[in-house]
Amino acid sequence: MQDFVYQSAPMRVVFGAGTLRQLPYELSHLGVTSALVLATPRQKDLVAGIREMIGERFAGVFTGAVMHTPVEVTERAMETVRDMRADGLVAIGGGSTTGLGKAIALRTDLPQIVLPTSYSGSEMTPVVGQTSGGIKTTQSSPKILPETVIYDVDLTMTMPPKLSATSGINAIAHAVEALYARDRNPLISLMAEEGIRALAQALPTICAQPNDKTARTGALYGAWLCGICLGAVGMALHHKLCHALGGLFNLPHAETHTVVLPHALAYNAPAAPDAMAQVAAALGEPDPALGLQDLARKLGSPLSLREIGMPESGIDQAADLAVKNPYWNPRPIERAAIRELIARAWRGDAPRLSCAGAGLATST
């Protein structure tokens, strides 16, 4: 067994069905007396219920969160925080709302409670990605990590099947990269394989029967495990590519991860055979890259970057950005091979290894 260092996150997790009702206690536990609720306009009924539930602790609501956490949106939210004298945050939603809460916490160190309605997993991490001038960068700080996450399966029951599918594969991407991370460890690897397995089993049922509560519970459980992986170890090529593509072309976050993941996995396959074996075992497929693309196809998810709005003219620009200040990766980052990867993902081709230099060394 390899040497390793493991540090658990100082976070409180409440998991189950109907757990939203514990929000008043969790606010008291954190000493929050004036909570700003972060939500989206379509969650107005849920916000109304929360307002009634927490009473005088409700300071107000901000509904302007958008993908990729633009800095200008965070600045508008900060004005609301100051105007309402909020001393805590309650973020309801997926990655966009959670990201906004984390961006505010980075600037204020206000305590956060997150109520996820998707499988994004970002609630489990001390990392926030922020976009300015079309470039998305990440930052890590203990202030960013939410203090409490309330996982309520009931909040995911109305998530549309297509969003459930891409959000779930986005979560799987966190676990896949955790299996070949430079700072991986046995506990996180166990969580990663179990998280992939839980989601791969639950997502087809959810797409066929969206009201299946057992499947919804399994998917949320898997997403939680994959989110822990994302927060515990470093990510690699796949996340670098998705950040570059999302920031450059304002592509939808979960769909971008869904399209790119099989291709990034194929790129790294020769340099990470043990991880590939674990992904294959979790999926029940002999070829994990093809297995992931087949899963996306079965779920009716997009298979090409072209489908989700990336222009073909952007392939070279994306390749240039992907090799600039690259993340650590088990296989060296080579521009020609990365360009081929992006081009295949743009077309929606089957994932295929470009063998030049594959697995001969590791980047540092």
Q: Which domains are assigned to the chain?
A: 12-156 (3.40.50.1970), 164-347 (1.20.1090.10)
- What is the distance between the alpha carbons of residues 349 and 221, in angstroms, rounded to a whole number? 31
3-class DSSP state of 2: coil
Give the model's confidence band at 1: pLDDT under 50 very low, under 70 low, under 90 confident, else very high. low
pLDDT at 325: 78
- What is the distance between the alpha carbons of residues 265 and 242, in angstroms, rounded to a whole number? 13
Average the pLDDT over 33-55 and give the result: 93
**Would you say residue 355 has pLDDT above 70?**
no
The percentage of the chain sitting over the pLDDT mark of 90, rounded to a whole number, equals 79
Average the pLDDT over 35-59 and give the result: 93
- What is the distance between the alpha carbons of residues 206 and 275, in angstroms, rounded to a whole number? 27
Q: Pairing relation of β-strands 88-93 and 112-116?
A: parallel
3-class DSSP state of 324: coil
- What is the distance between the alpha carbons of residues 104 and 110, in angstroms, rounded to a whole number? 8
- What is the distance between the alpha carbons of residues 6 and 2, in angstroms, rounded to a whole number? 12
Mean pLDDT of the chain: 92
| Helix (H) / strand (E) containing 149 | strand 148-152
Backbone angles phi, psi at 152, to 5 degrees: -115, 110
**Would you say residue 50 has pLDDT above 50?**
yes
